[in-house]
Amino acid sequence: MDYSQLMSQLETLSRVGEGIKVRKVLSELNISRIPRPYKLGFANIARRNHQAFLALRILNTTVLARNPLSEPPTTEEIAEYSVSLLNIGATREAKNLLRDLNDQEFNQVLLYRSFVAFTEWNYAEAVPWLKKFIRQERDEYQKVIGQVNLAAALNFTGDFNRSQRLLKIILSSTEKHGYHLLRGNALELSALAAIGLKDYGLAKEYLSFAANHLKNVRNLTDFYVKKWGVILSLYKRVSNQSLEELSRLKREALVLRNWESCRELDYFKSLFTKDQTLFTHVFFGTPYPAYRKKMLEEKWTNWCLPTEYIYKSEVVVEEEREVFDLAIGQCDSKEIFLEPGQLMHNCLILLVSDFYRPRALGSLFSELFPDEVFNPNSSPDRIYQLIRRLRVWIKKNRLPISLLESQGFYSIELKGNLALRVPEEIKLASKESVLMEKLVSHFGKKAFTAADASRLLNLSRTSLQRFLTWAQLRKCIEKQGSGPKLYYKIL
């Protein structure tokens, strides 16, 4: 087989948006026979055409080689492996790998770092990396990719004038070189910049150009054009028709598995309709600090957010809802609990932390086993086993929760009268942090004795003393008095 010719053909198909054809060819390829010099290229094409697991399998033996006689992986190979990890949700590991790479050896490292920032809605962090990438890049197509991503980052950070100037350059370049999909992206981003500058007439023109340009293309860019067209109409005037179209688009986004559009559509709806309840739902269901910061900057000034949120199903129930406290892993009124800080408790926390985007298998592994390397051949099975155990616990305790899986993404669905108490800041729990949460909730600023804490936490004397020492070292509590008058206070 002529791997060089095949790779060239697949690259050409990728650039003109023929992803279906690319994926078909890749599915028929025996990856174990790909020679080392071509693995990087095929992995790159696979990843860009939504086949990140395949990309990891192609490069796995190269990047994670244990044979000391094997040639070590190159910067390019590690970078491609990293961005493929990112695409399956293993953000933590991807970020760690990219951090140690030298962008002078491989310029794409800068672009990939920006992709990591994008997944966390941290566009401001991506801006300097993208600028440096564009300055250093020699390939015209790759340079335009960097420019398009920079324009997206500038739009999110509110720098619409600079974005608009850059997009004029991009539109000229994409027309000259025939970069069809990138031109569609640029037209959409030009509309967003115009909306940001409140030039709604110009925004409508750009969206019209984009719709016409993409009329024969069925991909997410086409959907984004429709989405921003509806949002633009709401900026002009809030009408029942526009709100109904917004709801229709959310249903379409669910079918497309475009979770971030679902989040954005709810967010814009909450602002346009002044629905504080929906705004609060979006806020607590979004685990990205940068996105939350943007929400707080744009919310109506008279809105005040609670410190916790009761997440419940939309089904109306007559009896009072049972509330499961996510932070401590326990029901309020029943002896139903998860061992605090253990894998099943933290897995449930991760599944609930985002109300919109289901957790990818790679994301669960990366967060639950932060010190381990993801292996596409063995790591998935550990998550499968954990999910099975969590399902058994749910069934044993007769909780009205469905743990759903679809194409490697996991989510929960609440049913009946169960609700979840979600804290403002969701973070993975340790046993000690959960015990501390119970102390704070029960005693507040009141003093308590070791006996009081023992009864509340149900700990043996040895375990209690170990925990109190842990809490003192971390300045969570302080000890006052001595002997029979010894007591503790929360700091």
pLDDT in tens, 174-186: 999 999 889 999 9
pLDDT in tens, 38-68: 999 999 999 999 999 999 999 998 998 767 7
Q: Which residues of 52-79 are buried (b: 16+ CB within 10 A; e: fewer)?
A: bbbbbbbbbbbbeeeeeeeeebebbbbb
189 contact partners, CB below 8 Å, separation of at least 6: 148, 151, 152, 155, 163, 167
Q: Can you give the pLDDT at residue 205?
A: 94
Mean pLDDT of the chain: 91
Model confidence at 418: pLDDT above 80: yes
**pLDDT confidence of 218, banded at 50, 70, 90?**
low
Model confidence at 172: pLDDT above 70: yes
Could you state, in order of their start, the residue ranges of all structural domains in the chain? 1-106, 337-423, 431-490
Q: Can you give the pLDDT at residue 219?
A: 66
Length of the chain, in residues: 491
**pLDDT confidence of 395, banded at 50, 70, 90?**
very high
Indicate the pTM of the whole model: 0.83
Tell me the backbone φ, ψ of residue 71, rounded to 5 degrees. -65, 130
**pLDDT confidence of 217, banded at 50, 70, 90?**
low
- Integer Cα distance of 455 and 458 in angstroms: 5
Is 295 in contact with 271 (CB distance < 8 Å)? no
- Integer Cα distance of 147 and 132 in angstroms: 11
The mean pLDDT of 237-253, rounded to a whole number, is 94
Q: Do domains 337-423 and 431-490 have the same CATH topology?
A: yes
Model confidence at 216: pLDDT above 80: no
Model confidence at 237: pLDDT above 70: yes
More reliable by pLDDT, 169 or 466:
169
pLDDT in tens, 111-147: 999 999 999 999 999 999 999 999 999 999 999 999 9
Model confidence at 320: pLDDT above 80: no
- Integer Cα distance of 232 and 68 in angstroms: 58
Strand residues in 306-436 grouped as ranges (E): 308-312, 322-325, 330-331, 359-360, 401-406, 409-414, 418-423
In CATH, which of 3.90.190.20, 2.40.50.140, 3.40.50.970, 1.10.10.10 is domain 431-490?
Answer: 1.10.10.10
Model confidence at 97: pLDDT above 80: yes
Q: Can you give the pLDDT at residue 368?
A: 92
Q: How far is CA 174 from the centre of its chain?
A: 30
- Which range among 250-254, 289-293, 328-332, 408-412 shows the weakest confidence by mean pLDDT? 328-332
Model confidence at 334: pLDDT above 90: no
- Integer Cα distance of 354 and 364 in angstroms: 12
Is 167 in contact with 189 (CB distance < 8 Å)? yes
Containing 488, the helix (H) or strand (E) segment is strand 487-490
- Integer Cα distance of 28 and 23 in angstroms: 9
CB hemisphere CA count around 488 (13 angstroms): 25
- Integer Cα distance of 431 and 341 in angstroms: 4
In CATH, which of 3.40.47.10, 3.30.499.10, 3.20.20.70, 1.10.10.10 is domain 337-423?
Answer: 1.10.10.10
- Which range among 58-67, 247-256, 363-372 shows the weakest confidence by mean pLDDT? 58-67
